[in-house]
Structure 1
């Protein structure tokens, strides 16, 4: 892995975008090695690393979706006031920068995947690499369209052929194209041929695992469409299941940081900023949900800091992870001594410490340092538990995906708990505990509504504790579960509603104005936080 990371900066340096004719010739220094001389495998690893950056840290999800769907809560004052974007839907001084970061970094990841495809042309021995790179392109495109709406897809990544003002494809068309492209790429993967040699997923180039990942991504995309195009959703969900989806937690897709070589997990880097470390806590909504069934993940993910302000702000001082004392912070409160001060919240837990060492949020649970404080920890992309929950829902809907909804739900619940082991030994739950918990909490099959509620609440909790905030948000938009009470904090940018998209980057109106205007014209309500996407019914 170390060699893969060392190539990331080098490869990124030779794949910058431009907007002129004869791009390659003009931008190639004849005294230096050209991109054609690089091993295209390292374009893949660079694409994977950039995708991890797009879906984590300050590039967007932790500052927006983490609080929108009440995974995290924050008092959002003092040093960490930028979390007001998430917890209260109130702009901070850098909101416009944050909302464009996911766009820029995800397209960078897609462009690197595209380079891998182009540099494998006429090299049949690298066909698996080319098709895996296509999977990465689609992975990024789904993230982009689910976050923003209509996006450039068919004309994207073509600056080298002088397409510098790409049209925005309608989300409906983007989804149809992505499904077709992904299906074709997965179908061409051949485990008998060489796999990629610089793979940052735990697969380490295992083509059979990539095939299962591709099918699970196809399933996830299909299930997004259950309300927008049920027939298309059913078609591709059944096809994905027949092709073979993620088979166990050993197939979980994540990308680990490499702290020794300067590649830090962006979520950890954000949470370890002083203001974040002090003020960001688990939401009451999440902790109450997990404690309601004595979920063993409570003691894994959460800790109450040591008493007092100093104890709450000390990075190296572990808290108490006894499940019985964990309390989630209610969303929508602050430390400003007014009507929305945390001390005025219903059921206020009380602070800890005395005098100058008092903190009013001392009894509320934060992400456990031993689990989420590792800069080399994983950024989850797609897990076995997610895949099994989607299969459970498909089965509830009567689709032919093999097995029963109850079986898939049980698989998912066990996998969700086991998946946290990727964060290290402190996050590992004994197998006997997992087995007993799964047996005691079967799927409610008394009605379709009861099953869908249980499945999708579990999806939210699972992706939430994996810190895959964007996926928790998108599935909440799709399913409506869990039922969340919005925050209506003074000065918010969404009229007191939970945001359903991010506005486009401000640069798009300047750099690609005509196509941007067309895209905005197709949004009911315009380029605002509350406009619904095509599949978001």
Structure 2
């Protein structure tokens, strides 16, 4: 990989001329274009938006992980045949481009952050540089969780003459990233420089500290199967430092459609073909129904009858009783995989030219089509559920049941941040009374906690995180799709292959990484992958 980081294109950072409540107005002077006077705070909102785009929409999450993890499903036989990558593990025309999405977007974001850090350091903006360190670890760890071994120690150093960086062994990279994260957190000081133009925490240093330690917790738990002693040590550091303490601490990247910063997943799910083709998986709907989960009425709807209605965002029927999930791995081509031949097929809706063959299956509700909805980067709910598992393992004090309860309550509370309906306190209490953490055995508890992480992160549209935690924990127990000509030997993909461009741009480093990992296909396990 060649990373050419040249002179900052400063004018590209002057990207907001007027903003709503999400993005503050940035008054820029065209005469202040030199690096010596440029305010690096102006880079932060662009980096934040870029990170949100990386983890959502067509960059990969919707087209791969959303259906690998069996949260969503698609027949992918109409205009949106690109969902064959996700639902059936089958190549589509742009698969190679999709594979490279996280890589290209991630390193572009990390490069921008690196420049922000360097400028901040020259101006003695220690807090901004430290936030950059946290953000860089957040970004590169995301890339690593998707591909495995990736450039880290030598990455982003083209200005130092390193244009073909080595790929770091993921085991060592994770420990190095955790160390960099800790060093950045130690620098943050509420009495230091003020962070401006911060669309995530409005410059609140205390919240950035909580976010950094919560990220540390999540990364530590990634190591639970491969390096439990290191995992325990880093969990304890994170807890001592202070993780999220309420849903008010959620790390959300706001959407801002008016200024061109729409939620990328919402952009995808507003395409007429996608509105029709993308449905909730049977696995997800059955899970929510099995416990009378109050989120079901908020997240799912059966479209109004007919093809025209199925291709628009008009609100459908959100009654939990009528919701039915689409099984993964089916099409509408008349063969053995035709969904109409499934014994539980509910039938289409409409007639004649207005027939919608899959019209009776549940689709994501209107909250997922809201272009101003935030991207959920990391939440109090996920942190509390991870603490529940850590407590079960004896890595932190506290009651696993209490952490689990806090996580579920947090998940219900944060659903309202999409801008739609909310779960009432009475509904949440009733749910938890009926579904307390199963403490009959370690396996029963682990299963319940990690299934809740899967559901919660998926319902927040953070499908990559749901997939990563499934790889780590093995929960939920999923049955793979084995569609003809699939690219993963009938197994749920464990990673994305490296982008084709790396073969010519950074050949030796790439080959070393592939040899170390044992392959470069969709089912090669990365180092920390300890699931089934």
Residues 151-207 of structure 1: CA deviation (Å, up to 9, x unaligned): 110010111111111110100111010010011111221123344211121x21111
| 1:379 corresponding residue in structure 2 | 375
Residues 457-496 of structure 1: CA deviation (Å, up to 9, x unaligned): 0000000000001000000000000000000001100010
Q: What is the TM-score of this pair, normalised by structure 2?
A: 0.93
| 1:106 corresponding residue in structure 2 | 106
| 2:74 corresponding residue in structure 1 | 74
| 1:20 corresponding residue in structure 2 | none
| 2:301 corresponding residue in structure 1 | 303
| 1:367 corresponding residue in structure 2 | 364
SS at match of 1:427: coil
| 2:267 corresponding residue in structure 1 | 269
Q: Would you identify which runs of 4 or more consecutive aligned residues in structure 1 move more than 4 Å? A: none
Which is further off, 106-115 or 184-193? 184-193
Which is further off, 352-361 or 235-244? 352-361
Question: 1:56-135 maps to which residues of 2 (within 5 A)?
Answer: 56-124=56-124, 126-135=125-134
Matched, 1:430 2:424: yes
Matched, 1:225 2:226: no
For structure 2, which runs of at least 5 residues remain unmatched after alignment?
Answer: 1-8, 16-30
SS at match of 1:534: coil
- Select which of 384, 389, 406 maps to 2:401: 406
- Select which of 235, 238, 242 maps to 2:236: 238
Distance in 2 (CA, whole Å) between partners of 1:36 and 1:75 is 55
SS at match of 2:120: coil
| 1:340 corresponding residue in structure 2 | 337
| 1:199 corresponding residue in structure 2 | 198
- Kept in 2, the 8 Å contact 1:301–1:427? The answer is no
Matched, 1:517 2:514: no
Residues 99-138 of structure 1: CA deviation (Å, up to 9, x unaligned): 00110101111111111110012433x2111111100000
| Shift, 1:308, TM fit | 1.3
Residues 229-267 of structure 1: CA deviation (Å, up to 9, x unaligned): 000000000110111111111011111111111111100
| 1:148 corresponding residue in structure 2 | 147
Which is further off, 434-443 or 415-424? 434-443
SS at match of 1:499: coil
- Select which of 515, 531, 534 maps to 2:527: 534
Residues 483-510 of structure 1: CA deviation (Å, up to 9, x unaligned): 0000000110001000000000110111
Residues 390-413 of structure 1: CA deviation (Å, up to 9, x unaligned): 10000000112x321011000000
Question: 1:12-91 maps to which residues of 2 (within 5 A)?
Answer: 33-91=33-91
Distance in 1 (CA, whole Å) between partners of 2:11 and 2:274 is 28
| Shift, 1:273, TM fit | 1.0
| Count of residue pairs the alignment pairs up | 508
Distance in 1 (CA, whole Å) between partners of 2:127 and 2:434 is 42
Which is further off, 266-275 or 37-46? 37-46
For structure 1, which runs of at least 5 residues remain unmatched after alignment?
Answer: 1-6, 14-30
Distance in 1 (CA, whole Å) between partners of 2:507 and 2:32 is 36
- Kept in 2, the 8 Å contact 1:388–1:408? The answer is yes
The RMSD of aligned alpha carbons is 1.6
Distance in 2 (CA, whole Å) between partners of 1:343 and 1:212 is 50
Distance in 1 (CA, whole Å) between partners of 2:340 and 2:194 is 56
SS at match of 1:503: coil
